[in-house]
Amino acid sequence: MAPDIQAPPARNLTLPLTLGFAVAIAAASVPAARALADLIAPAPIVEPVAAASATPQPPAPPPPAYAFDAPLPGREVASPFGLRQLPWEEGGRLHEGVDIAAPSGTAVKVAADGIVARTGTDPGYGRFVEVRHKDGFTTLYAHLGRNLGMKKGVYVKRGTPIAVVGDSGRSTGSHLHFEISRKGRPLNPAHFMDKTFASADDLPLKAAARVPRKVRLAQVSRWPEGMKEKVAARRAGKGQVTRGEDGRVRVRIEVAAS
| CA 197/CA 24 separation, integer angstroms | 91
pLDDT value of residue 235: 75
| CA 28/CA 34 separation, integer angstroms | 11
Give the model confidence (pLDDT) of 62-95 as tens digits.
889 999 999 999 999 999 999 998 888 888 889 9
| 242 DSSP β-pair partners | 250
- Domain(s) labelled CATH 2.70.70.10 in the chain stretch across 66-223
| 205 DSSP β-pair partners | none
Give the model confidence (pLDDT) of 154-167 as tens digits.
999 999 999 999 99
From 14-18, 27-31, 60-64, 237-241, the region with the lowest mean pLDDT: 14-18
Q: Is the predicted pLDDT of residue 21 greater than 50, yes or no?
A: no
Q: Which long-range contacts (CB under 8 A, 24 or more apart) does 191-197 make?
A: 192/68, 192/111, 193/68, 193/69, 193/70, 193/71, 193/111, 194/68, 194/69, 194/70, 194/73, 195/67, 195/68, 196/64, 196/66, 196/67, 196/68, 197/64, 197/65, 197/66, 197/67
Highest mean pLDDT of the ranges 14-23, 53-62, 209-218: 209-218
pLDDT value of residue 221: 72
Contacts of 129 (CB under 8 A, 6+ apart): 116, 118, 119, 140, 141, 144, 147, 150, 162, 163
DSSP code for 202? G
Contacts of 114 (CB under 8 A, 6+ apart): 131, 132, 133, 134, 137, 139, 155, 156
Helix (H, G, I), strand (E, B) or coil at 239: strand
| CA 147/CA 38 separation, integer angstroms | 87
Predicted confidence band of residue 186 (pLDDT cuts 50, 70, 90): very high
Give the model confidence (pLDDT) of 27-49 as tens digits.
555 555 565 555 555 666 666 66
* Tally of CB atoms within 10 A around 26: 10
State the sign of the Cα–Cα–Cα–Cα dihedral 31, 34, 38, 39. Answer: positive
Q: Which fold has domain 66-223?
A: Glucose Permease (Domain IIA) (2.70.70)
pLDDT value of residue 249: 41
Give the model confidence (pLDDT) of 116-174 as tens digits.
999 999 999 999 999 999 999 999 999 999 999 999 999 999 999 999 999 999 888 89
pLDDT value of residue 49: 60
Q: Full-prediction pTM beyond 0.75?
A: no
Whether the CB-CB separation of 171 and 220 falls below 8 Å is answered with no
Spell out the SS3 assignment of 49-60.
CCCCCCCCCCCC
| CA 190/CA 145 separation, integer angstroms | 23
Predicted confidence band of residue 242 (pLDDT cuts 50, 70, 90): very low
